[in-house]
Amino acid sequence: MRFEDPPRQRQGTGVDHRVIAEGLKARPGEWAVIAEHARIGTASTAAYRIKRGITAVYQPAGAFEALARTANGKALLYARFVGERRDA
């Protein structure tokens, strides 16, 4: 057994979402693999957060589409910029 304090901050995925969002906006409508996750559930949660605009750089909700797929044993996160909704 070992006693120690936990790290101060969780380790992130190393993904710079601001850079990703800007890149997607530069090529609207095109799908891109934006991250690779260890589990499909993690990728699916990330996709949900993007679609709903929960992750701030992907706001407003609906401006980005995202989905998770498994390919060659990897859980991939895809996203694309579709534009901000314009309500009449």
Q: Is residue 63 part of a domain?
A: yes
Domain residue limits at 59: 33-81
How long a stretch of residues is the chain? Answer: 88
Cα distances (angstroms) measured from residue 52 to each of 4, 59, 60: 37, 8, 8
22 within domain boundaries: no
Closest Cα partner for 71 from 29, 30, 43?
43
Indicate whether 9 belongs to any domain: no
Let me know if residue 37 belongs to a domain: yes
pTM over 0.75: yes
The count of structural domains within the chain is: 1
The answer to whether residue 42 sits within a structural domain is yes
User: Of the candidates 44, 50, 39, 43, which has an alpha carbon nearest to the alpha carbon of residue 73?
Assistant: 39
pLDDT 10s per residue in the chain (88 long)? 877 877 665 555 677 999 999 999 999 999 999 999 989 999 999 999 999 999 999 999 999 999 999 998 999 999 999 997 665 4
Contact 46, 58 (CB under 8 A): no
11 is a domain residue: no
